[in-house]
């Protein structure tokens, strides 16, 4: 190409060819004509002309879908070869406007928006990038590969977390079912039946399903950390711990197992927490980090734990956590750990005593009477414990008030046990008598 005039003349020739092919309904010919026009503009480095031609060709009357698809796909290969960022953004925006509302280029449009969002993020415009990504609902794309869909949604979640939009991050994360990560990729590939959509191959830069699983749970940890939902954080780490590549490498699983232990200890007492705690204790890998085995053991043993002794033992491990994979624990973790130990101690006391004075309880907990009463009240309100305080007497009762039905049922049960005992005794006496009679006869 020796000049703009020469380029325009060549384009004009191809436009005439394109018109003839389009009107004749020749798919292959139309596709070749449009791609040749774009190639001419690209080789001449005429980026403005390229944008104009893309817009023009897509709007021509009766333009074939296949020609638009070929044009968008070809122009996408030029994006990375643009001379500067402004030209790149302009080309992406042109392709975006051409593919908007066209279902046959929806995958290409999603990839274009992802590319544009990456550029915006690089410029520090996180909110703009997040808004761009949220325009696209990839879960409705039948022809997009499963891994690419998941990767796209995870990118949407990440951008929402980056701009601290936690509500939208949760809504988007629910588009991914955790069960999808347990699928066996080797069984997935089936030949499509006639009439079914052909699913495209995922691009080379899309991570594998197991890698996406790790990214998903890391993002969920970020989300749950915002509200200090310790049990959920622990379950997320548990899912990461079960990924084969993590479980085979001690350098990876040791920090993850430490985090599982810490967040289980920080979780308020409930049946799910208790179940996970006991399951983790049975893990053979816990022998590699005996300090944490000891910590969990103390929590499942029904004995009062001395807070100062426990903190002195584990303070270094707690501080060392920030040097581990996954970073330090949440800001108020130390304060919450103390809360959990107090709650554990109150539950232990309730198992051993039916009635106890508040003064004695505060001594056992190493707290003032007011503090002990506050923690006790919080546990009663959260239904972790049943207790009543007689303030004038200063006595705490852990017994539940029985209604008349419960009392009658317990009496009936006691009578049943008594009659059963009498019957067994009579049977034993009768048996002994028979044995003695038989001995005397012989």
The pLDDT tens digits for 377-403 are 888 887 777 878 778 887 888 777 667
At residue 397, φ and ψ (nearest 5 deg) are -115, 130
Helix pair angle (307-320, 290-300), 10° resolution: 140
| 95 touches 54 (CB < 8 A) | yes
* Cα torsion 149, 154, 160, 162: sign: negative
Residues across the chain: 442
pLDDT at 2: 45
Rounded distance between C-alpha atoms, residue 158 and residue 368, angstroms:
45
Which positions ≥6 away from 405 have C-beta within 8 Å? none
C-alpha separations of 237 from 219, 222, 254 in Å: 11, 11, 11
Residue 180 class from Cβ within 10 Å (0-12 exposed, 13-18 middle, 19+ buried)? middle
Query: What pLDDT, in 10s, does the model give residues 73-106?
Result: 888 888 877 878 888 888 888 888 888 777 777 8
Domain parsing of the chain, residue ranges: 1-99, 409-442
| For residue 194, pLDDT beyond 50 | no
**Kind and range of the H or E run holding 157:** helix 146-162
- Range in 236-250, 320-334, 371-385 the model is least confident about: 320-334
pLDDT band, very low/low/confident/very high, at 315 (cuts 50, 70, 90): confident
Strand pairing of 355-357 and 395-397?
antiparallel
Summarize pLDDT for 35-61 with one digit per residue, the tens.
888 888 888 888 888 888 788 878 878
Evaluate if residue 246 carries a pLDDT over 80: yes
pLDDT score for 422: 94
- Mean pLDDT of all residues in the chain? 81
Which of helix, strand or coil describes residue 389?
strand
Distance (Å, rounded) from C-alpha 38 to C-alpha 73? 11
């Amino acid at each position: 190409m020796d000049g703009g005039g020469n380029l325009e003349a060549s384009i004009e020739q191809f436009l005439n060819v394109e018109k003839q092919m389009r009107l004749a309904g020749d798919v292959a010919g139309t596709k070749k004509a449009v791609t040749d026009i774009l190639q001419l503009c690209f080789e001449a480095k005429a980026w403005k002309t390229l944008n104009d031609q893309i817009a023009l060709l897509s709007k021509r009357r009766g333009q074939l879908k296949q020609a638009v698809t070929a044009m968008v796909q070809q122009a996408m290969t030029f994006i990375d070869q643009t001379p500067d960022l402004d030209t790149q953004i302009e080309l992406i925006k042109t392709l975006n406007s051409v593919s908007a509302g066209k279902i046959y280029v929806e995958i290409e449009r999603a990839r274009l928006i992802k590319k544009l969002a990456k550029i915006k993020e690089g410029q520090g415009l996180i909110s703009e990038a997040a808004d761009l990504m949220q325009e696209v609902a990839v879960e409705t794309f039948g022809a997009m590969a499963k891994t690419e869909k998941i990767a796209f949604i995870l990118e949407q979640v990440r951008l929402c977390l980056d701009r601290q939009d936690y509500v939208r991050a949760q809504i988007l994360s629910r588009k991914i079912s955790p069960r999808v990560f347990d699928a066996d990729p080797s069984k997935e590939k089936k030949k499509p039946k006639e009439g079914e959509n052909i699913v495209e191959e995922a691009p080379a830069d899309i991570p594998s399903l197991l890698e996406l699983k790790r990214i998903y749970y890391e993002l969920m940890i970020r989300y749950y950390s915002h509200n200090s939902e310790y049990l959920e954080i622990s379950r997320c780490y548990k899912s990461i711990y079960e990924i084969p590549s993590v479980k085979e490498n001690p350098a990876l699983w040791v920090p993850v197992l430490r985090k599982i232990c810490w967040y289980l200890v920080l979780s308020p007492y409930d049946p799910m927490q208790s179940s996970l705690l006991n399951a983790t204790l049975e893990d053979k890998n816990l022998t590699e980090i005996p300090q944490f085995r000891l910590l969990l053991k103390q929590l499942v043993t029904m004995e009062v734990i001395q807070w100062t002794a426990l903190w002195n033992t584990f303070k270094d491990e707690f501080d060392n956590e920030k040097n581990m994979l996954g970073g330090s624990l949440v800001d108020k973790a130390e304060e919450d750990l103390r809360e959990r130990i107090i709650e554990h101690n109150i539950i232990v006391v309730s198992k051993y005593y039916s009635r106890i004075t508040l003064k004695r309880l505060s001594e056992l907990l190493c707290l003032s009477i007011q503090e002990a009463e506050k923690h006790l009240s919080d546990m009663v309100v959260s239904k972790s414990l049943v207790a009543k305080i007689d303030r004038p007497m200063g006595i705490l009762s852990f017994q539940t008030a029985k209604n008349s039905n419960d009392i009658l049922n317990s009496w009936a049960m006691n009578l049943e046990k008594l009659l059963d005992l009498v019957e067994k005794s009579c049977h034993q006496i009768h048996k002994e008598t028979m044995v003695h009679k038989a001995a005397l006869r012989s």
